[in-house]
């Protein structure tokens, strides 16, 4: 109690009423806890309750004599208890307004009398007795405890009577300590929940949204789903390394009116991310929107349809605001008198309010949702065991990740009787029974009746599973009755939107039965079937199953139709529908690398290419979706180019459908790595539509795809020229601020490419792009940092730009990126430093001003990444032009580190390494040091390299080294002269001069040598 | 057909032409094949004076059962009634081909009308809940006791009837039926199989029209 009262309880701080307990919710719950403890004390611990306090607890009470009953001695206004302590003082004494109490039994009696004023009494008592434990047990707690220890050891056995009372004291102490612990842990729990959302709240909200996103006119959303089926034991679905950043889970929500939303739920709130679509993806975690307090707020702000309908629909009614607590907390904020924090407090209150508004709704949710688990517990699911297909044991479910934990949690929270099972459960159970015993007619009718349920609702979905309905539905697929198969698939197609159902279907081997139907001659059946596969194959194991049972081939075969005929017969239309569903299924399957390969081997690329000519957007979206998914593979990129799909992709860029445009742009993004593809995009006039997509700034995914495509296309200089006609650079520069990271990465990549053309460097400067670029150097996203440093580096090749970069302290920022753990960032930063140092006005001074900078760069020579090493060598070559800095580099041991690298065979590294060696020779005895360290011999070998750039820098380095006689001897021994003479015939003047100079030095030494021999 | 006399051939041709004018889902050549097949099915021509020439109920039923896979007694009788438009207890060439046109190539609308007539047991243009119950009374054979079976059927019939009786007047009219089936095609044969399935249709057409394919 001591600890919790001093630490946890929120005492008001305003001077006027110091020592009051602030009426915060936490204090209220604390008081309640204390109250309960005291009230139950005398019944639970009668002996301890009689223990007389060392000092009475005194406080001013609101109770008066008339409140006391007859078993007290009442005289006028004063009241005394008949019980007295051993000194004759009454254990309870009231002389208004003060009351003195000397034992727990009296305390609890008093509280009973106080009735509805109990809380106030407890509060007053605690406020006026700031350290009740000391008063109750006396100040010398330590001595008691010592005694206790001794006692438990059984050593002391004297003074029994006193001992006994001490004994009680110890017990009392322990009891109070227990209470203290309880209070603290309760406080902690409360505080835990305060920060914002928690997994439970998120899940409940998602469930609520799911219930309202089922089909029908009244639905507010098209669909709501998690990206990951796996739930960690703490209720989170985010991968652990994201959980470390307080992220709980990711959602994909399709609103009715806008494009699909990719949402991150974190403890701080919810926000849009860069498009985390499936589990296992490594990108898109960046925040791309403001943080909203909950999903509803986010949806309301993004989807007008949702905002409009959400207000109409019942879940608004489900959320009666609980004003009371909120009010209390607001008062608290005022009383604390901390105006500077008031904003934060307000915000917290909003959170609090929202959560509390949700509280009743949660209960509601649970009511509808949780019985599934309980049915399991109660063994009500026996029908499952009856069907032969139900061979899946129960524990297979509880083992498999998510749902068990999830549902367990709920059954813990809701341990009531099972009277509140939803009526849907019983009805579905009944229907499943009919399915099992009925003939063909009954089956068809039952399936129709089942379809009448809201199958997009989790309650119904799980009810079907829990009563063994999945097995029956799957069994129906193996019968001969087309009607029954259609009915079964119509149900499976819908319930397979649920992750648990998907997993259950795969676990029981149902996917194999589903795939068999792909061979059916009935087209309606095939279309439904493929659509079901599209839903089920949303996780890895399912996708693997599809592949292993030859499903990919069958699905590819479905694509065979004539999509672009003007007038289709009814049959042809059905073919198109089958192909569309097949494409949907392949899209789901194409998330796995091996499936991409399987699709290609089955001839899917050609088929997809043909469907790409379809005029229908609902066909094009899955087709292009699959293609862009597969374009991560080299083989597809080639095929897309050679099969002439670039033309179609470019054409579809101009369709007015955001999703389609996004997939097309993404496909171009992935394919435009290839030069020929870039050419084709220009040829088919795809550059302008790409630029015009930049105006759709509200759709971040589309924007990211479009900027990505522009980036890759701009690798070709001709494309950059073309882009300039549409003022692409100016638009891109506007996108350098306030954009989500995945957009920024691409924009920066593009700016980096554009900046390779001198005219564009000036444009960037004039549009204020340099400042935006430098600002972005402080980011954390590695891909972004790589691209921003590239862009800054490209800009720094212009003197005027360099002045601005220098002014904005950009070099320091780039330099500090050398500390980034990512090798890509390190090398990119080092490359960017080269032009910066070269073009800065007073480069030497600038470099020196960066404390520890030179040591940092020398240390990076210990990297194992060749690209990093090459870039650092290049930077060192630039730095070493300043003598003072070279001296510092030398002090840091640059000679030894460079020498260690000389045995490399990487030409790119060799080139820059030789350049660095050449420049580092210019200080003190460095030439000799290189020789002593053994750098000369390997360098000679570089002259045999096939790379001309290596020859040039090597010759220059050798020329520098040859000014040390010992090095000349080494070189000569290694046969350098012949190699150099060969290079003396080069048409590169620098190479030629360096080679000649080196040979001259060797020759001079030889002559001196001969003279010495002759004359001495 | 080669050994057929010229006279017969001409008669067949005229008949085929006249029928194909009325049944637009088959062309004349197909109708010829169907007539030929009909004659084969008919076997011995009905002796004069022994009723109207044509397929009688027993023959028709055996064809339904063997060729089209419709096996329920009640349904076979009802289908016979829909084929036999003039109610003379025999299916003439014309009636046979008209009926087959729906069997083999009927649109959804045709089939809805046809099936509704099948299910309207007392031909009063409504399907009552009693009629539905009668048609479905044995649809849950797997339940152990009679009480359970009866209760289950009753429940299932009520669920279905409630859904299909769109105007809630306690009986199902053709528009009710049509609307329900259009919404959920599975309900087309809700109260009993009375149409051949895809495979049977395919097999039949392959057999009867094999001459044309050549």
- Which three-class secondary structure string do you get for A716-736? CHHHHHHHHHCCHHHHHHHCC
Q: Which two tokens stand for residue A263?
A: 């949402």
What confidence score (pLDDT) does residue A710 get?
93
- % of chain B surpassing 70 pLDDT: 93
How much is the average pLDDT of A891-901? Answer: 92
Cα–Cα distance measured from residue A687 to residue A723, given in angstroms and rounded to the nearest whole number: 7
Which residue is associated with the tokens 């002014």?
A: A807
CA distance B15 to chain A (A): 30
Residue reference for tokens 């081939």: A553
Q: Which residues contact A39 (CB under 8 A, 6 or more apart)?
A: A108, A111, A112, A118
CA distance A613 to A649: 9
Report how far apart, in Å, the C-alpha atoms of A499 and of each of A12, A867, B65 are.
49, 44, 44
Name the strand (E) or helix (H) holding A264.
Answer: strand A261-266
User: What pLDDT, on a 0 to 100 scale, did the predictor assign at position A382?
Assistant: 36
d(CA A198, CA A413): 15
Both tokens of A888, joined, read 């510092």
Query: Which among A430, A445, A487 has the least Cβ separation from residue B160?
Result: A445
Mutate which of B133, B140, B179, B192 to disrupt the A interface (most A C-beta within 10 Å)?
Answer: B140
Greater confidence, A473 or A97? A473
pLDDT digits (tens, 9 = 90+) for A991-1001: 888 999 999 99
Chain B touched by A88 (CB under 8 Å): no
A336 pLDDT exceeds 50?
Answer: no
Mean pLDDT, rounded, of chain B: 86
Interacting residues of A1005 by C-beta distance below 8 A, sequence separation 6+: A965, A968, A969
B165 Cα to chain A: minimum distance (Å): 14
Give the number of A-B residue pairs with CB atoms closer than 8 Å. 71
Statement: residue A22 has pLDDT above 70: no
Q: Please give the full DSSP string across A62-95, using - where no structure is assigned.
A: S--GGGS-TTSEEETTEEE-S-B-TTS-BSEEEE
Contact A449 B163 (CB under 8 A): yes
pLDDT at A86: 76
Question: For residue A352, what pLDDT is reported?
Answer: 44
Closest approach of chain B CAs to the CA of A432, in angstroms? Answer: 12
Closest of A887, A884, A855, A888 to residue A872, by C-alpha = A855
Give CA–CA dist A583/A285, Å, rounded.
Answer: 28
3-state DSSP assignment of residue A842 = coil
Distance between CA atoms of residues A860 and A864, nearest Å: 9
Give yes or no for residue A150 having a pLDDT over 60.
Answer: no
Using the Cβ of A449 and the Cβ atoms of chain B, whether some distance falls under 8 Å is answered with yes
- What mean pLDDT is reported for chain A? 79
pLDDT digits (tens, 9 = 90+) for A268-282: 788 888 777 765 555
B198 vs A452: CB contact, 8 Å cut-off?
Answer: no
* A451 contact B CB<8A: yes
Report the distance separating Cα A898 and Cα B108, nearest Å.
83
Interface test with A, best of B139, B146, B160, B163 (most A CBs within 10 A): B139
Q: How many residues does this entry show for chain B? A: 214
Kindly tell me if the per-residue pLDDT of A916 is higher than 90: yes
Q: What is the mean pLDDT of residues A224-245?
A: 77
pLDDT of A981 reads 87
List Cβ neighbours of A921 (8 Å cut-off, separation of 6 or more): A927, A930, A957, A960, A961, A963
- State in Å, rounded, how far the first CA of chain A is from the last one: 101
CA B205, B209, B212, B214 torsion: positive or negative? positive
CA-to-CA separations, A1009 to A533, A617, A975, A1002, A1006, in angstroms, rounded: 86, 85, 18, 10, 5
* CA-only gyration radius of chain B, Å: 19
For residue A225, what is the enclosing H or E element?
Answer: strand A221-226
Say whether residue A482 is in contact with chain B using an 8 A CB cutoff.
yes
Structure tokens at A285: 């975690």
Q: Is the confidence at residue A28, as pLDDT, over 60?
A: yes
Bridge partners for A100 per DSSP? A58, A93
CB atoms within 10 A of CB A334: 13
DSSP collapsed to 3 states, A633-646? CHHHHHHHHHCCHH
Distance (Å) from the alpha carbon of B157 to chain A's nearest alpha carbon: 9
Q: Decide which of A553 and A236 is more confident.
A: A553
| CB-nearest partner of A446 from B156, B184, B192 | B156
The answer to whether the Cβ–Cβ distance between B187 and A448 falls below 8 Å is yes
Task: Name chain A contacts of B198, Cβ cutoff 8 Å.
Answer: 482, 521-522
Residue A594 host element (H or E): helix A593-601
Other residues' Cβ atoms within 10 Å of the Cβ of residue A413: 12
Q: Is A448 on the interface with B (CB under 8 A)?
A: yes
Q: Do A442 and B155 touch (CB under 8 A)?
A: no
User: Cβ atoms within 10 A of the Cβ of A56, count?
Assistant: 21
CB contact under 8 A, B186 and A440: no
Q: Which two tokens stand for residue A599?
A: 């699709």
Contact B156 A483 (CB under 8 A): no
Band of residue A214 on the pLDDT scale cut at 50, 70, 90: low
Chain B residue with the nearest C-alpha to that of A431: B156
- Would you state the pLDDT for residue A193? 47
State the Cα angle at A684 between A682 and A688, rounded to 5°. 60
Burial of B13 per CB tally in 10 Å (0-12, 13-18, 19+): middle
Question: Which residues of chain B does A519 touch, with a Cβ-Cβ cutoff of 8 Å?
Answer: none
DSSP run (H or E) holding B202: helix B198-208
Name the residue facing A448 among B140, B143, B186 (closest C-beta). Answer: B186
Predicted confidence band of residue B45 (pLDDT cuts 50, 70, 90): low
| Strand pairing class (B171-172; A92-95) | unpaired
Q: How far apart are CA A829 and CA A817, in angstroms?
A: 6
Cβ contact, residue pair A451, B152, below 8 Å = no
- Residue A431 and residue A446 in contact, taking contact as beta carbons nearer than 8 Å: yes
Kindly report the nearest CA distance between residue B181 and chain A, in angstroms: 11
Distance from CA of A228 to the nearest CA of B (A): 34
Q: What confidence tier does A162 reach under pLDDT thresholds 50, 70, 90? A: low
Of A433, A441, A521, the CB nearest to B192: A441
Sign of CA dihedral A234, A239, A242, A244: positive
A521 to chain B, any CB pair closer than 8 A? The answer is yes
Res. A143 pLDDT band, cuts 50 70 90:
low
Work out the burial of residue A752: count CB atoms within 10 Å of its CB; fewer than 13 is exposed, 13-18 middle, 19 or more buried. buried
Q: What share of chain A is helix, strand, coil (3-state, %, to 5)?
A: 70, 5, 25
Q: What is the SS3 assignment for A856?
A: helix
Cis-peptide into A745, omega within 30 deg: no
pLDDT at A196: 61
What CA–CA distance (Å, rounded) separates A753 from A746?
11
Shortest Cα distance from B151 to chain A (angstroms)?
A: 11
What distance, in Å, lies between the first and last C-alpha atoms of chain B? Answer: 14
CA dist., res. A475 & res. A492, Å (int): 12
A208: confidence class by pLDDT, cuts 50, 70, 90: confident
CA distance A456 to chain B (A): 17
Provide mean pLDDT across the span A359-386: 39
Q: Do A438 and B142 touch (CB under 8 A)?
A: yes
| pLDDT tens per residue across span B183-211 | 998 899 889 888 998 888 989 999 888 87
Q: Do B141 and A482 touch (CB under 8 A)?
A: no
Q: Is the CB of residue A964 less than 8 Å from the CB of residue A931?
A: yes
Instruction: Average the pLDDT over A752-781 and give the result.
Output: 90
Q: Are A789 and A814 in contact (CB under 8 A)?
A: yes
A712, containing H or E segment: helix A700-713
pLDDT of the residue at A817: 92
| Residue appearing with tokens 């399907």 | B127
Per-residue pLDDT for A613 more than 80? yes
Q: Taking CB atoms and an 8 Å limit, are A441 and B191 in contact across chains?
A: yes
CB contact under 8 A, B198 and A521: yes
Contact (CB<8Å) A441/B198: no
Q: Which residues of A touch B190 (CB under 8 A)?
A: 441, 444-445, 448
**Given this model, what pLDDT does residue A160 score?**
53
Q: Is B107 helix (H, G, I), strand (E, B) or coil?
A: coil
Out of B152, B163, B192, closest to residue A434 by CB: B152
Q: What does the pLDDT read at residue A142?
A: 55
User: How many Å lie between the alpha carbon of A431 and the closest alpha carbon of chain B?
Assistant: 9
- For tokens 């749902």, the residue is A403
Query: A378: distance to nearest CA of chain B, Å?
Result: 24
User: What pLDDT, on the 0 to 100 scale, is given for residue A377?
Assistant: 42
User: What percent of chain A stands above pLDDT 70?
Assistant: 81
Nearest by CB: A447 against B153, B186, B193:
B186
pLDDT > 90? residue A93: no
ipTM comes to: 0.91
Beta-strand pair B127-128/A78-80? unpaired
Q: How many C-beta neighbours within 10 Å does residue B81 have?
A: 17
- Give CA–CA dist A667/A636, Å, rounded: 10
Closest CA to A489 of A443, A526, A528, A453: A528
Give the Cα separation of A951 and A149 in Å (integer): 84
Mean pLDDT of A781-797: 92
> CA-nearest residue of chain A to B197?
A482
Nearest Cα of chain B lies from the Cα of A439 at a distance, in angstroms, of 5
Phi, psi of A975 (to 5 degrees): 80, 35
Question: CB B139 to CB A448 under 8 A?
Answer: no
Q: What is the distance of C-alpha A293 from the center of its chain? A: 17
Cα-atom radius of gyration of chain A, to the nearest Å? Answer: 39
Which chain A residue has the Cα nearest residue B135?
Answer: A441
**Are residues B156 and A440, on separate chains, in Cβ contact within 8 Å?**
no
Lowest mean pLDDT segment, chosen from A241-250, A573-582, A980-989? A241-250
């Amino acid at each position: 109690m001591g600890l919790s009262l001093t630490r946890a309880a929120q005492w008001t701080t305003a001077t006027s009423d110091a020592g009051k307990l602030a009426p915060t919710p936490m204090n209220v719950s604390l008081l309640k806890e204390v109250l309960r403890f005291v009230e139950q004390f005398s019944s639970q611990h009668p002996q301890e309750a009689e223990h007389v306090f060392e000092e009475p607890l005194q406080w001013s009470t609101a109770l008066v004599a008339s409140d006391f009953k007859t078993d007290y001695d009442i005289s006028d206004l004063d009241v005394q208890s008949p019980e007295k302590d051993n000194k004759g003082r009454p254990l309870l004494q009231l002389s208004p307004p003060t009351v003195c109490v000397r034992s727990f039994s009296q305390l609890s009696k008093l509280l009973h009398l106080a009735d509805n004023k109990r809380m106030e009494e407890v509060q007053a008592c605690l406020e006026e007795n700031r350290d009740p434990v000391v008063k109750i047990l006396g100040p010398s707690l330590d001595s008691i405890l010592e005694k206790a220890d001794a006692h438990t050891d059984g050593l002391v056995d004297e003074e029994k009577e006193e001992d006994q009372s001490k004994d009680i004291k110890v017990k009392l102490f322990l009891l109070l300590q227990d209470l203290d612990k309880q209070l603290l842990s309760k406080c902690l729990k409360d505080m835990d929940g305060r920060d914002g959302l928690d997994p439970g709240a998120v899940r409940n909200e998602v469930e609520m949204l799911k219930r309202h996103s089922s089909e029908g006119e009244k639905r507010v959303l098209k669909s709501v789903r998690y990206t990951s089926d796996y739930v960690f034991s703490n209720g989170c679905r985010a991968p652990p390394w994201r959980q470390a950043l307080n992220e709980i889970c990711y959602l994909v929500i399709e609103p009715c009116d806008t494009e699909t939303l990719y949402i991150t739920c974190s403890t701080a709130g919810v926000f849009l991310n860069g498009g985390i679509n499936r589990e296992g993806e490594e990108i898109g975690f960046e925040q791309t929107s403001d943080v909203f307090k909950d999903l509803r707020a986010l949806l309301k702000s993004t989807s007008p349809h949702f905002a409009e309908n959400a207000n109409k629909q019942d879940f608004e009614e489900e959320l009666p605001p609980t004003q009371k607590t909120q009010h209390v907390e607001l008062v608290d904020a005022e009383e604390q008198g901390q105006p500077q924090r008031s904003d934060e407090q307000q915000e917290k209150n909003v959170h609090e309010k929202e959560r509390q508004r949700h509280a009743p709704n949660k209960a509601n949710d649970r009511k509808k949702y949780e019985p599934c688990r309980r049915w399991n517990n109660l063994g009500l699911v026996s029908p499952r065991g009856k069907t032969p297909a139900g061979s899946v044991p129960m524990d297979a479910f509880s083992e498999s990740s998510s749902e068990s934990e999830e549902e367990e949690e709920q059954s813990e929270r809701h341990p009531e009787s099972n009277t509140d099972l939803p009526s849907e459960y019983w009805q579905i159970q009944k229907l499943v029974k009919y399915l099992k015993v009925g003939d063909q007619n009954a089956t068809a009718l039952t399936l129709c009746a089942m379809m009448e349920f809201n199958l997009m609702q989790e309650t119904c979905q799980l009810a079907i599973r829990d009563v063994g309905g999945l097995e029956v539905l799957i069994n129906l697929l193996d019968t001969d009755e087309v009607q029954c198969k259609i009915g079964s698939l119509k149900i499976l197609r819908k319930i397979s939107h649920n992750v648990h159902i998907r997993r259950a279907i795969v676990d029981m081997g149902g996917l194999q039965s589903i795939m068999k139907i792909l061979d059916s001659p009935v087209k309606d059946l095939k279309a439904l079937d493929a659509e079901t596969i599209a839903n089920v194959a949303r996780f890895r194991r399912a996708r693997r199953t599809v592949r292993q049972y030859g499903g990919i081939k069958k699905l590819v075969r479905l694509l065979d139709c004539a999509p672009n005929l003007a007038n289709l017969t009814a049959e042809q239309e059905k073919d198109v529908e089958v192909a569309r569903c097949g494409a949907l299924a392949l899209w789901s399957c194409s998330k796995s690398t091996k499936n991409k390969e399987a699709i290609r081997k089955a001839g899917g690329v050609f088929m997809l290419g043909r469907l790409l000519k379809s005029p229908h957007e609902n066909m094009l979206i899955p087709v292009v979706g699959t293609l862009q998914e597969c374009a991560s593979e080299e083989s597809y990129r080639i095929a897309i180019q050679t099969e002439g799909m670039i033309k179609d992709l470019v054409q579809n860029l101009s369709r007015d459908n955001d999703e389609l445009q996004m997939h097309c742009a993404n496909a171009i993004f992935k394919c435009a790595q290839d030069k020929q593809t870039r050419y084709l995009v220009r040829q088919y006039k795809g550059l302008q539509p790409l630029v015009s997509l930049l105006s759709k700034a509200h759709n971040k995914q589309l924007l990211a795809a479009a900027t990505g495509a522009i980036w890759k296309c701009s690798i070709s200089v001709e494309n950059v020229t073309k882009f300039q006609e549409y003022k692409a650079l100016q638009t891109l520069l506007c996108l350098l601020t306030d954009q989500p990271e995945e957009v920024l990465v691409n924009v920066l990549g593009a700016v980096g490419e554009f900046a390779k053309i001198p005219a564009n460097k000036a444009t960037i400067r004039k549009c204020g792009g340099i400042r935006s670029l430098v600002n972005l150097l402080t980011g954390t996203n590695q891909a972004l940092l790589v691209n921003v440093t590239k862009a800054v580096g490209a800009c720094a090749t212009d003197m005027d730009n360099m002045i601005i970069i220098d002014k904005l302290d950009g070099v320091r920022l780039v330099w500090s990126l050398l500390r980034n753990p990512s090798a890509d960032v390190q090398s990119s930063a080092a490359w960017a430093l080269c032009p910066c140092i070269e073009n800065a006005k007073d480069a030497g001074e600038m470099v020196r001003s960066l404390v520890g900078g030179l040591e940092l760069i020398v240390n990076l020579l210990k990297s194992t990444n060749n690209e990093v090493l090459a870039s650092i060598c290049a930077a060192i070559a630039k730095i070493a032009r300043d003598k003072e800095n070279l001296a510092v580099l030398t002090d840091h041991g640059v000679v030894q580190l460079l020498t260690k690298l000389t045995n490399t065979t990487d030409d790119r590294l060799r080139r820059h390494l030789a350049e660095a060696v050449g420049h580092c020779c210019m200080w003190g005895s460095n030439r000799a040091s290189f020789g002593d360290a053994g750098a000369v011999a390997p360098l000679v070998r570089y002259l045999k390299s096939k790379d001309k750039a290596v020859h040039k820098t090597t010759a220059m380095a050798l020329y520098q080294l040859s000014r040390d006689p010992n090095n000349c001897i080494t070189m000569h021994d290694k046969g350098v002269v012949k190699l150099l003479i060969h290079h003396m015939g080069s048409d590169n003047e620098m190479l030629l001069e360096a080679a000649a100079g080196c040979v001259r030095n060797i020759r001079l030494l030889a002559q001196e040598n001969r003279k010495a021999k002759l004359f001495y | 057909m080669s050994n057929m006399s010229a006279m017969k051939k001409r008669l067949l041709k005229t008949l085929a032409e006249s029928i194909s004018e009325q049944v637009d889902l088959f062309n004349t050549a197909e109708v010829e094949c169907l007539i030929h097949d009909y004659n084969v099915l008919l076997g011995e021509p009905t002796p004069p004076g022994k009723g109207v020439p044509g397929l009688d109920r027993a023959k028709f039923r055996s064809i339904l059962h063997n060729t089209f896979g419709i096996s329920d007694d009640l349904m076979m009788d009802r289908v016979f009634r829909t084929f036999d438009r003039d109610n003379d207890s025999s299916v003439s060439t014309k009636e046979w081909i008209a009926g087959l046109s729906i069997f083999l190539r009927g649109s959804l609308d045709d089939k809805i009308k046809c099936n509704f007539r099948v299910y309207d047991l007392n031909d009063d243009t409504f399907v009552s809940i009693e009629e539905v119950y009668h048609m479905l009374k044995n649809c849950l054979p797997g339940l152990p006791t009679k009480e359970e079976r009866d209760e289950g059927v009753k429940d299932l019939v009520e669920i279905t009837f409630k859904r299909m009786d769109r105007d809630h007047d306690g009986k199902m009219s053709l528009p009710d039926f049509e609307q329900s089936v259009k919404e959920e095609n599975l309900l087309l044969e809700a109260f009993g199989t009375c149409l051949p399935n895809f495979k049977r249709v395919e097999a039949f057409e392959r057999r009867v029209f094999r001459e044309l394919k050549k």
